[in-house]
Amino acid sequence: MDFLTDTNNLLVLVVAVISGMMLMFPGLSKRGANTINANTAVQQINQRQAILIDIRKAESYKASHIPQARNIPAEELTAKTEKIAKDKPIIVVCDTGRNAQRSVAELRKQGFTDVAVLEGGITAWAQAGLPTKKS
């Protein structure tokens, strides 16, 4: 019992338990947004006609983007989603998958229910050997 009464040991134990939980339940570390990898995204596009929304600035989009993706920069997302079907899955794309979380939350506020972030963003897509194009 001396192990648990030492403050340093207790801190190490708490950190170990929290780390273990995050490994067991990866969703806890994703801040609430669904993430899908590039292969799952391809399946969603082919089987469910998922819509890709690239939230990067126009210059980044023009330099390299997923062929089917629509460019709607994050700051314009609220104003430009009225024409997007709410009955299809939405996959939000950014550079690395980290900036898309806010956009997913915004889309959910607007009534989109099947929304996910492309894990690793356009970078992971390209690393998976999937096609990109320039505009």
From 90, 94, 100, 115, active-site residue: 94
Q: Which of 41, 43, 39 is nearest to 53 (CA)?
A: 41
Active site residue 94: yes
Q: What is the DSSP letter of 50?
A: P
Amino acid letter for position 6: D
Residue 5 and residue 25: Cα distance in Å, rounded? 28
Name residues whose C-beta falls within 8 Å of residue 63's C-beta, 6 or more positions apart in sequence: 134
Report residue 22 as tokens.
Answer: 């995050």
Catalytic positions are 94
